[in-house]
Amino acid sequence: MGVIKRLAVVAMTAAISVAATADDTPEENERRKESGSLEEWLELQRSGEAAGSRPTLGGEEMQRIYERYLDSFTHPIPERFRTED
């Protein structure tokens, strides 16, 4: 997972946590801190323990992707890229 996606997940998790605890009583806040649920979710995400299997593509799709990849080496890399203003 890319860095930006990881940061987005952490930011969304934090926002949800803040929103969920905004109206809680002090007792509920203390109980939530003791449960460690946020830390458990973050560890579960880091470990990938509950991750699903990666989807796979069929033979024809993979062949076209591989051919396109090989074709990319036939074009020289320009020293500078033109941008349209």
40 falls within a domain: yes
Domain that includes residue 27, residue range: 1-48
In a domain? residue 54: no
Alpha helix positions (H), 1-85: 3-21, 26-35, 37-47, 59-71
How many domains are contained in the chain?
1
Q: What's the confidence (pLDDT) of residue 74?
A: 94
For residue 18, is it within any domain? yes
pLDDT digits (tens, 9 = 90+) for 28-82: 777 666 666 788 888 888 888 877 787 788 889 999 999 999 999 998 888 888 8
**What does the pLDDT read at residue 23?**
62
What per-residue confidence (pLDDT) applies to 36?
A: 67
Angle formed by the axes of helices 37-47 and 3-21, nearest 10°: 160
**Inside any domain, residue 75:** no
Q: How do the residues of the chain divide into helix, strand and coil, expressed in percent and rounded to 5?
A: 65, 0, 35
Three-state secondary-structure class, residue 37? helix
4-36 pLDDT, tens digit each = 777 777 777 777 765 555 566 777 777 666 666
